[in-house]
Structure 1
Amino acid sequence: MTKKLKKPWPTKAVMTQIYDMKLWGGSTFDFYSGTGSHDPKITNPYLQAVRSFLTSHNHNLVVCDLGCGDFNIGNQLVSLTKKYIAIDIVDALIERNKKRYKHNNLEFQCLDISKDALPQADCLILRQVLQHVSNAEIKEIVKQLNRYKYIILTEHLPLGTFTPNKDIISGQGIRLKKNSGVVLTAPPFHLKIKDEKIMDEHVLEANKGRIVTTLFCLH
C-alpha cells in the first residue's frame, strides 16, 4: 500500500505516487505517462514536427529530455540525434527504462530538474512537464535554460484568453481549472529568447484546452 503523504508533497514523492497509483491511467501498463504520450491524435503530429526539426539539423544535435516519463515518445526520436539524454525524477521509472530501451546514443539519468545540475546539450525537450510543477520550481528550472540553444516546450493551455502562470502545488493536476497555463516568457519567469515558433497545436475535445508545442531559439 502506498504511504499517504502530507501536503505539500515533495515533488519526487508525489510523482512516484502518481505512477504507483496509476493516476494518469494505463491500468495494464507497468508505467504510464498519460494519453498525451500515447494517443496517436496527439503524438503523431508532435513526432512529425520534432522529427522534421531534428532531421533539419542532420541528426547532429545532443538532446536532453526533461521528464521523459515512460519513454513512449522519446524512444521514437533517439535515432535522429547525436546523443539523447533522458531524465525523470522517479527512480523506479528510470531503472525500468534503462532495461527496456537500449541505444548506443541513449543515456538515462534520475534527477530532480528543479534542484540538480542539468546535462549539457544543444536542444532541450520539456513535454507536458512544467504544467504539473509549482512556480517556485519552474523558476529554478528556468535559471538553467540559457545553456541550451533550442527548447522544444509542450504545454497544455486553455482555449482563448487566459492568465498565464497561476501557481499550483506540484502534482497530478495542471493549471487548466484556473484558466491558466505555463508561458515561460511571461512573469514571473521572464525567459529571454531570440525567436519562437509554434511547431504543433492540438485542440482537445469537450473544451479541454489545447496542447501547444513551441520551439524557442535562445541564442
Structure 2
Amino acid sequence: MNLWGGTTFDFYSGIGSHDPKIINPYLEHLIVFLESHNNSLVVCDLGCGDFNIGKHLAKYTKKYIAIDIVEKLINRNKKIFEEDNLEFYCLDIAKDKLPSADCIIIRQVLQHLSNSEIQSIIKKLVNYKYIILTEHIPLGHFIPNKDIISGQGIRLKENSGVDLLVLPFKLKVKDQKILDEHILENNKGRILTTLYEVF
C-alpha cells in the first residue's frame, strides 16, 4: 500500500533502508564488524525486507540467511538476489523456529511489534552469540517499551522506544557497544544500532 513511501518500487522497506545518509554509515560499521571475524560468521537477518541492506552484507559472511514474514517478498528476493552463501526463508520470527547462526541482525523490526511478540523473540535470541539491533527511538529521555499493537506504527509518538535490557524484557548480555547512531531531522528521533554479545 506504499504506506512507507517508495511508490516506484514493487516492495519498499522505508526510508530507513534506502536513505544513503542513514544506510551508508550503518553498512560501513557492520562490514568492519564482519571483517573483524574474517567473514566467517553465519548471519541471520530477521526481517530482511526488500533486501536493500542485506545485499551489501552477504559477501562478508560465511552464510547469510534472510528471513521475512511476507511470502511474496521472499519469493521476489529469491529471484533477484542469488549468491552461493545466501538463503531466504518465509518465517514468522515470533512463532517459528529460527535457523542456527552466529549473529542475528534485527533492523527496525522490533519497533513495530507488541511487547508479547518481542518477548517471544527474545527467548530465541539467547541462542546466538551476537545480536545487532537497530531501533528508531526518541531523542533524549524516553519511557522504554510502552506496549503497542503490532503493525505499521512505532512507539515514537508515545515518547517510547524498544530497549531490550530493561523491563519487561531484561535481556542479559555480556557486552554491548553502539555501532552507529543517526539523528533524524525535525526532531524525528534517532536510529540507533547496538551490538550485543550474549553469554
Structure 1: distance between partners of 2:3 and 2:116:
24
Determine whether 1:148 maps to 2:120: no
The aligned amino acid for 2:169 is F
Equivalent residue runs for 1:42-57 within 5 Å = 42-57=22-37
Partner of 1:212: 192
Using structure 2 for the length normalisation, give the TM-score.
Answer: 0.99
C-alpha distance after superposition, 1:44-82 (max 9, x if no partner): 000000000000000000000000000000000000000
The aligned amino acid for 2:56 is Q
Determine whether 1:126 maps to 2:102: no
Equivalent residue runs for 1:5-84 within 5 Å = 21-84=1-64
SS of 1:194's equivalent? strand
Structure 1: distance between partners of 2:145 and 2:77:
31
Sequence identity (%): 71
C-alpha distance after superposition, 1:135-165 (max 9, x if no partner): 0100000010111000000000100000100
| Structure 1: 4+ residue segments shifted above 2 A | none
Structure 1: distance between partners of 2:88 and 2:166:
31
Using structure 1 for the length normalisation, give the TM-score.
Answer: 0.90
Structure 2: distance between partners of 1:187 and 1:165:
8
Q: Structure 1 unaligned segments of length 5 or more: list them.
A: 1-20
Partner of 2:173: 193
Tell me the C-alpha RMSD between the 2 structures: 0.4
The aligned amino acid for 2:54 is G
| Cα shift at 1:22 | 1.2
Determine whether 1:88 maps to 2:80: no
Determine whether 1:159 maps to 2:139: yes
The aligned amino acid for 1:106 is L
Structure 1: distance between partners of 2:103 and 2:46:
11
The aligned amino acid for 2:185 is E
Partner of 1:179: 159
| Cα shift at 1:126 | 0.2
SS of 2:173's equivalent? coil
The aligned amino acid for 1:71 is F
C-alpha distance after superposition, 1:8-48 (max 9, x if no partner): xxxxxxxxxxxxx1111100000000000000000000000
